[in-house]
Amino acid sequence: MNWKLRDIVAATMLSVVSGAIYLGWDLLYKFVPSGVNPVVLAAFNGLWWIAGGIVPYIVRRPGAAVLAESIGGFVEFALGSPYGIQAFTIGIAQGLGIELGFALTRYRSYSLASMLFATALGGVGNYVYSYFYYGVDKYSGATQMGYLIVTMISGAILAGLISKLVGDALKRTGTLRNFAIAKSAPQG
């Protein structure tokens, strides 16, 4: 389970690219009209933690989700995110949620179900952070519950499913032959 230099380099590169994607998502999100139901808006959340899905899926090391989300969030911030430093700090919260999901399998399962579960837990990190810093605490109980559920589903699909599909596609090209993903048996 030791990190190799190539793991660190790949994790960093994927996280930097994800940070740029996050900034683009920030800018697109700003065009959503005010007054849209927060539960509907929660469907957009999962893309903001795709680094926390794809990096652990490829390198399969403890701490990969937190590292990836920290770097991705910092890059998003450094590139001028309208959310400022909170782009970095919420990334840590989301990464911790995802990390918990992988830790519960002792970093041994990267099946589709495990990916969906871990990245859904990124939604819990997002919810807790948003509760204290983005006004989710002001929503009604039903709206908060809806926000949490939709955020978790969004994380599972946009961060979990997409990460698995992209990782599997990269694996088929042979470019990941020196990474843990290539050395593992296929998982459903």
The pLDDT value recorded for residue 127 is 98
Each of the 188 residues of the chain gets a pLDDT tens digit; together they read 689 999 999 999 999 999 999 999 999 988 888 889 999 999 999 999 999 999 999 999 999 999 999 999 999 999 999 999 999 999 999 999 999 999 999 999 999 999 999 999 999 999 999 999 999 999 999 999 999 999 999 999 999 999 999 999 999 999 999 999 998 766 65
List all residues 6 or more positions away from 188 whose beta carbon is below 8 Å from its beta carbon: 111, 112, 113
The pLDDT value recorded for residue 185 is 67
Cα four-point dihedral sign 143, 146, 148, 150: negative
Q: Which amino acid is at 120?
A: A
The pLDDT value recorded for residue 23 is 97
Q: Measuring CA to CA, which residue among 26, 144, 138, 132 is closest to residue 80?
A: 26
Give the angle 114-21-121 at the CA atoms, nearest 5°.
25
pTM for the whole structure: 0.94
Tell me the domains of the chain and their CATH numbers.
5-182 (1.10.1760)
The pLDDT value recorded for residue 183 is 87
